[in-house]
Structure 1
Amino acid sequence: MRAERPVSSVARARTWSRAGVAVGAGLVIALLTGCTSGGDAVPTPDGVDLGAVQIDSGDRNGIEYVSGPQALEAVLRAVRSASSVSMTGSFTELTAPAEGTTTRQEGRTLDVVFDGVPTNYTATVTIAGVEQASVRSTGGRAAVSGDAGFAAASGLADATSGPVCVDSTDPVVTRFSPLLSPANLIAALVGGRGAGGAGGGSSGGSSAGGGVTVSTGAVSSNLDTTGEPTVQLVVNDGETTVGTLVVAATGEPYPISFTGGDATGRGSFAFARWNEKKALPGLSC
């Protein structure tokens, strides 16, 4: 039967969150103030017409057949269960228009380079013209260092001359949330900490709450520089597209890239080397 292997690892008996999705006050607020992940829930996917599912390759995960919000949650679950990832990206905020004008000007640009997982990682965060910080976190402890801007913002004067050890939950570290958790970053950028509602399957959309619609597109081999099959998850706020998340259409639905923006700013992030072992340095303090 065609439906015996309907949607591979995405739609088999896995748990799915049904928490609401909301864009909030904008991407820049999510990035500069942090976010938290959603809770667990247990229903299996709905809105999938098994009779319409046609997957030629056993490697395909069938995410294009899952409703947009559930596809997004499948992506977040894959990210949270990964053993490692390399992530790079930047976000540029847009300032409010000056009085008497309608043009927004570019403000701060925030850059991040991240390797590992939220419990064991190295990261460099730069806020152009303001500060730069390096973080090595493992085992609940973090070695942090940075320039004078970081030292002033963190209150760690010694951070300019070498790493200073603090708890991983210290505000000195968590002030960079969600940049230090790929799953939380994706959730902030896409506008949710889970997903709710049923929806349309391939190229279909579903309202995820707060006026946000997440839609899954058809499989393409042209969206990824490797030529591997990919699927776009497109997020719309009811008026315009605010972001596009490109994910793998084979194996686990790991993210490949995110590009988007709204009135508060625009960003672009890339994800690679999922689950590749990489020797991270020990704490140097």
Structure 2
Amino acid sequence: MSVRKRRIGRALAVAVAVSIVMSGCSGGLLKRGKSSPPPPGTPPANLDLGSVDDAKSGQNGLWHLSGSQAIEQIIDAVDRSDGVLYEGTYVEQIPVEGDDQATTEGRTLHVTYAGSPEQYSASIEAGKLTASIVTVKGDTYVSGNDAFAAHIGVAEAAEGSVCVADAHGILDEWNLVLDPAALVEALLGNSASVSVPADGKQKSVDVVISDGTAPVGTMSVAAFGPPLPHSYVAGDSSGDASFTFDEWGTTRTPTVPDDVVVGCE
């Protein structure tokens, strides 16, 4: 990690997400209503296209907006999507005593997710915890290693999948990585500033995230159609994060795990 990144401080929203996951504190689950997605190539509604030709080209015109407006458009596009496949890793950086320019790797978080908030399958590795989560037809099943079972207070989860009646209570601390719109909002929303450079007629455009003095990362999003994320890379003195997003709009129907030890009835 560069010296400039180490000087930045806790600028990344992802650090907030990971601190929630690692510490066991609970965060609020973001509730949103879905509406029909705009047709491909529709520029943002608040964009005056009188002097630009993005509507004809099919580009979404994200680079014509302010940083806050771009964030709103990206989060809205994610929220409207029927599903996504994403994978991400966060590595905590711990200052080395006696050397304010050096860090060493600490705890890690790795998550894979496929689906939408209503139905999805996910796996999480956080520190010593490993977990598998499946939500299907309104029921949520969790399983994991001994550390995870002890953490949530459900011993049977170390033996197989357990249907949990109060999924929101048990999974509150993981909300930011189990809801695509909540995750993207966290990655972008706490930044001191966000800018979108001119696109150059490319298929994607980089949203540059800054702490107010220097760039700390980028989120690549689609330049055509809804501005859905492709990737995210960022780093500061608290850690480094990277996420990839794929298969937007793919509807998935998870199945009940084969290793259920405690059912829903």
Amino acid at match of 1:176: W
Rounded to whole Å, the distance in 1 between the matches of 2:253 and 2:29 is 28
Matching residue of 1:257 = 231
Matching residue of 1:217 = 197
Shift of 1:37: 4.6
Amino acid at match of 2:194: V
8 Å Cα contact 1:140/1:167 also seen in 2: no
CA RMSD of aligned residues (A): 2.7
Query: In the comparison of the two structures, how many residue pairs are matched?
Result: 233
Shift of 1:169: 3.8
- Offset from partner CA, 1:38-82 (integer Å, 9 cap, x none): 999xxx866x56444132754321212222211111010111111
Rounded to whole Å, the distance in 1 between the matches of 2:28 and 2:222 is 25
SS at match of 2:135: strand
Change (3 A) 1:145 1:125: same
Amino acid at match of 2:247: R
1:148 aligned to which of 124, 134, 146: 146
Matching residue of 2:159 = 161
Shift of 1:280: 1.4
Give the TM-score normalised by structure 2.
Answer: 0.78
Shift of 1:120: 1.1
Matching residue of 2:240 = 266
Amino acid at match of 1:64: W
Between stretches 71-80 and 169-178, larger displacement belongs to 169-178
Amino acid at match of 1:27: V
Rounded to whole Å, the distance in 2 between the matches of 1:249 and 1:25 is 24
Amino acid at match of 2:131: A
Change (3 A) 1:149 1:39: closer
Matching residue of 1:236 = 210
Change (3 A) 1:242 1:24: closer
- Offset from partner CA, 1:79-116 (integer Å, 9 cap, x none): 11111100111011112442x22122111111001001
- Offset from partner CA, 1:96-141 (integer Å, 9 cap, x none): 442x22122111111001001112110000124x010000013443
Change (3 A) 1:169 1:27: same
8 Å Cα contact 1:146/1:159 also seen in 2: yes
Matching residue of 2:7 = none
Change (3 A) 1:233 1:142: same
Change (3 A) 1:151 1:274: same
8 Å Cα contact 1:35/1:188 also seen in 2: no
Change (3 A) 1:155 1:69: same
Larger helix percent? 2
Larger strand percent? 2
Amino acid at match of 1:154: I
SS at match of 1:218: coil
Residue 27 in 1 paired to residue 1 in 2? no
8 Å Cα contact 1:27/1:262 also seen in 2: no
Residue 135 in 1 paired to residue 133 in 2? yes
8 Å Cα contact 1:78/1:254 also seen in 2: yes
% same residue = 33
Shift of 1:150: 0.7
Rounded to whole Å, the distance in 1 between the matches of 2:141 and 2:31 is 28
Change (3 A) 1:279 1:140: closer
Amino acid at match of 1:214: V
Between stretches 167-176 and 60-69, larger displacement belongs to 167-176
Shift of 1:35: 6.0
Shift of 1:185: 1.0
1:191 aligned to which of 184, 189, 192: 189
Give the TM-score normalised by structure 1.
Answer: 0.73
8 Å Cα contact 1:247/1:256 also seen in 2: yes
Amino acid at match of 2:18: L
Residue 114 in 1 paired to residue 101 in 2? no
8 Å Cα contact 2:32/2:79 also seen in 1: no
Matching residue of 1:202 = none
Matching residue of 1:53 = 52
Amino acid at match of 1:251: G
